[in-house]
């Protein structure tokens, strides 16, 4: 396997509030390889978006990175001078933000905003930038790109604004594209189109993609590998096919059990995860998921599990694992 284009090592990002220190990202580590599609999934507040913002050093006060390394092409972004980080943002690592309407400037033409992204990093003439902007809009399948390039964001539909944001992200041919909930506000049909577009762009340009989402179905549609986050930590990671077929952490299993499936028995009820996510100022001792876990054992209350090998290229941070939990559950109901 080729060397990773990005290595995140023991990353900790905290927010220093009046109520206490919020441990939003607490010891996250992962590698991203060239051309890879990696999903980071979890419910709201688990730290997935803060992880993405940390990679680009965009965490705002009162938050800051307190520990860890983010190695990009041999250099640590955490300790890098601000000017060097600005050179990387939008050029080598681009980000598609969650809400394209608030990310695009409403008083500037869409084409101008794409041109601006190129001119800021490549210092190319305006006419060439305009031609490239039209080409990018065509690449993301916006019809009549030659005329739409002069439209304003409010003249685009939600799906077209998201496509324009993808075009802006691809403007400088980045090595990594971070997509933060790129399909949240879109209907199912447009969501499928955006996922197909990202998949095709990944195959054509070999740009590595980090997809941030709470939707396991979106991960299944695009990603080859997935990290499952809970309460600021990775609780399970591995190939998407393996995780969906044989999840080993009770949280991952619960997420998958809460998704409607066409091939499921109609008598089976969807599972809801009871309780609320923990307070990240004072997280519970032991496993952070234990207050909501139906399979917890005594050890879960006081011992904090580390990621352990539970299958081919699959790791989970759990004292029980679903193989043992379901076997024990089946024996109890026998």
* Two structure tokens written together for 95: 């980000």
Q: Token pair 């580390």 is at which residue?
A: 306
- Check residue 333 and give its pLDDT: 44
Helix residue ranges per DSSP H, 206-313: 216-222, 240-245, 250-257
Q: What is the mean pLDDT of the chain?
A: 87
Reported pTM: 0.88
Percentages of the chain per state (helix, strand, coil), in multiples of 5: 35, 25, 40
- Poorest-confidence range of 10-19, 23-32, 170-179? 170-179
The string of pLDDT tens digits covering residues 249-298 is 999 998 888 776 666 566 667 777 888 889 999 999 999 999 999 899 99
Q: Look at the alpha carbons of 230, 232, 238, 239 in this order and tell me if their dihedral is positive or negative.
A: positive
pLDDT-derived band at 322 (thresholds 50, 70, 90) equals confident
The string of pLDDT tens digits covering residues 170-199 is 888 889 999 988 877 677 777 788 888 888
**158: Cα separation from own chain's centroid:** 20
* Two structure tokens written together for 209: 């993609």
The residue that leads in pLDDT, 40 or 122, is: 40
At 13 the three-state DSSP class reads strand
**Residue 280 in contact with residue 22, Cβ under 8 Å?**
yes
For 128-140, letters b (16+ CB in 10 Å) and e give ebbebbbebbbbb
* Two structure tokens written together for 298: 């005594």
At 249 the three-state DSSP class reads coil
pLDDT-derived band at 332 (thresholds 50, 70, 90) equals very low
| Domains contained in the chain, CATH given | 6-223 (3.40.50.300), 251-333 (no CATH)
- Check residue 3 and give its pLDDT: 87
Closest CA to 198 of 239, 131, 114, 141: 141
**Rounded mean pLDDT, 124-150:** 86
**Residue 212 in contact with residue 294, Cβ under 8 Å?**
no
């Amino acid at each position: 396997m080729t060397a990773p284009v990005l290595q995140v090592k023991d990353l900790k990002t905290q927010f220093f509030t009046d109520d206490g220190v919020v441990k939003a990202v607490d010891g996250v580590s992962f590698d991203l390889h060239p051309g890879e599609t990696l999903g980071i999934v979890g419910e709201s507040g688990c730290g997935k978006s803060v992880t993405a913002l940390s990679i680009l050093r965009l965490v705002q006060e009162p938050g800051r990175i307190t520990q860890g390394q983010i190695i990009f092409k041999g250099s640590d972004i955490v300790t890098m001078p601000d000017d060097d980080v600005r050179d990387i943002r939008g050029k080598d690592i681009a980000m598609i933000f969650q809400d394209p309407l608030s990310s695009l400037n409403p008083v500037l033409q869409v084409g101008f905003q794409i041109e601006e992204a190129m001119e800021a990093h490549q210092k190319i003439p305006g006419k060439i930038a305009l031609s490239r902007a039209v080409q990018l809009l065509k690449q993301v399948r916006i019809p009549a790109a030659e005329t739409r390039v002069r439209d304003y964001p409010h003249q685009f539909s939600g799906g077209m604004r998201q496509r324009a944001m993808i075009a802006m992200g691809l403007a400088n041919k980045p090595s990594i594209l971070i997509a933060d909930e790129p399909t949240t506000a879109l209907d199912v049909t447009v969501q499928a189109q955006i996922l197909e577009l990202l998949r095709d762009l990944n195959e054509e340009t070999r740009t590595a993609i980090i997809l941030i989402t709470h939707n396991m179905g979106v991960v299944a549609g695009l990603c080859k590998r997935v990290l499952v986050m809970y309460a600021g930590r990775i609780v399970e990671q591995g190939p998407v096919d393996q995780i969906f077929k044989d999840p080993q952490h009770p949280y991952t299993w619960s997420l998958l059990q809460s998704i409607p499936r066409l091939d499921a028995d109609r008598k089976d009820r969807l599972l809801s995860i009871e309780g609320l996510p923990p307070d990240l100022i004072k997280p519970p001792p032991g496993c952070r998921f234990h207050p909501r876990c139906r399979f917890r054992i005594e050890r879960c209350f006081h011992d904090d599990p580390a990621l352990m090998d539970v299958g081919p290229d699959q790791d989970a941070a759990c004292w029980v694992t679903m193989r043992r939990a379901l076997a024990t559950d089946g024996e109890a109901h026998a």
